[in-house]
C-alpha cells in the first residue's frame, strides 16, 4: 500500500537547537519571515541528510526572489564585530557566535553631539546600549537641569521601557558624537520566536544589570537620608 506523506524537515537554529519536524509550507513561511536564511542548515527526512536551505530544490526560488531586498539591507551584524559587542556589559558573557547572532536583532544608531536620545514622559519600547561615546541622564525642574548619571561606552539604558513599554523617567542627551545599539520590543519578540535559547542568557544579563542599578539607586537614597539626618 502506497503512502503520500508530506516531506518533513528539521531546522538548525542560530541558538544551536534543532526545530521540527515541520512540513514544507511551514518552512516556506519561516523563510518569508526571515527566520530561515539561505545558509541555514536543514535536515530533509526524505533525503536523509543535512544541507543548506539554498541547496534544497524546493526552496531555491524563494531565496532568489529575496535577493534584491537583502542586497540593500544590512543589520548590526554587518557593521560590528564580536569584540566591539563585548564592550557592552550586558553582552560581555556571550560567546562570539552568540554575539554575532544577537547582532541580527540590533539597530546601529549614530547620535550627534547634543542630540536628544529619549525624553522624559514619552512612551518607549526600546533599550539602548552605548557602543562608543558619552551621554548624560538628566531631569529638568523649574528650568534647571540636574544630571543623574553619565553613561559611557559599555553602559545601557531603557531596559524597563523594553520590558513594559512604560514612559521614560528622564532625558538622555549625547555629550559627544556617539554610537548606540538599539533593541526594540519587536526585535525582542523576534528573538524569542527565532532563538529562545539565545534570548535566555540576554534576559538573565539584563535582569542582573537592572538589579545592580536598583541597588545603586537605593544606596544613593540611603546616603542622602543619612546626610540629611546628620545635618539636623
How confident is the model over 176-195, as pLDDT tens digits? 999 999 999 988 888 888 88
The pLDDT value given to residue 127? 92
pTM of the model: 0.62
Question: Is 142 in a helix, a strand, or coil?
Answer: coil
Which of the four pLDDT bands, split at 50, 70 and 90, describes residue 2?
very low
Provide the β-strand partners of residue 179.
110, 132
To the nearest whole number, what is the mean pLDDT of the chain? 82
Domain spanning 8-71 has what CATH number?
3.30.1490
- Mind listing the pLDDT tens digit for each residue in 127-166? 999 999 999 999 988 888 889 889 999 999 988 888 887 8
% residues pLDDT > 70 (the chain): 82
Q: Where in the chain is the domain with CATH 3.30.1490?
A: 8-71
Contacts of residue 8, defined as CB under 8 A and 6 or more positions apart, other chains included, come to: 20, 21, 22, 23, 45, 46
Give the residue with greater pLDDT, 39 vs 133.
133
| Ramachandran category for residue 227: left, alpha or beta (phi over 0 → left; psi -120 to 50 → alpha) | alpha
Q: Above 50 in pLDDT, residue 70?
A: no
Q: Where in the chain is the domain with CATH 2.60.120.10?
A: 76-221
For 28-76, where are the E strands, in sequence order?
41-44, 49-52
Quote the longest CA-to-CA distance of the chain.
94
Domain spanning 76-221 has what CATH number?
2.60.120.10
Amino acid at each position: 500500500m502506497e503512502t503520500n506523506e508530506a516531506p518533513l524537515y528539521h531546522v538548525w537554529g542560530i541558538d544551536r537547537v534543532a526545530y521540527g519536524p515541520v512540513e514544507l509550507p511551514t518552512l516556506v513561511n519561516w523563510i518569508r519571515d526571515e527566520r530561515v536564511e539561505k545558509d541555514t542548515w536543514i535536515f530533509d527526512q526524505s533525503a536523509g541528510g543535512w544541507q543548506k536551505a539554498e541547496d534544497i530544490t524546493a526552496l531555491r526560488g524563494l531565496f532568489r526572489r529575496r535577493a534584491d531586498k537583502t542586497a540593500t539591507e544590512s543589520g548590526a551584524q554587518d557593521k560590528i564585530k564580536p569584540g566591539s559587542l563585548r564592550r557592552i556589559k550586558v553582552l560581555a558573557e556571550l560567546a562570539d557566535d552568540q554575539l554575532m547572532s544577537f547582532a541580527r536583532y540590533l539597530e546601529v544608531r549614530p547620535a550627534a553631539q547634543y542630540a536628544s536620545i529619549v525624553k522624559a514622559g514619552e512612551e518607549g519600547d526600546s533599550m539602548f546600549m552605548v557602543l562608543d561615546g558619552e551621554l548624560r541622564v538628566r531631569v529638568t525642574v523649574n528650568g534647571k537641569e540636574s544630571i543623574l548619571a553619565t553613561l559611557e561606552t559599555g553602559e545601557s539604558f531603557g531596559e524597563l521601557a523594553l520590558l513594559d513599554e512604560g514612559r521614560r523617567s528622564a532625558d538622555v542627551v549625547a555629550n559627544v558624537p556617539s554610537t548606540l545599539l538599539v533593541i526594540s520590543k519587536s526585535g525582542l519578540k523576534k528573538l524569542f520566536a527565532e532563538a529562545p535559547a539565545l534570548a535566555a542568557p540576554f534576559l538573565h544579563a539584563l535582569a542582573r544589570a537592572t538589579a545592580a542599578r536598583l541597588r545603586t539607586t537605593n544606596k544613593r537614597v540611603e546616603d542622602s537620608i543619612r546626610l540629611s539626618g546628620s545635618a539636623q
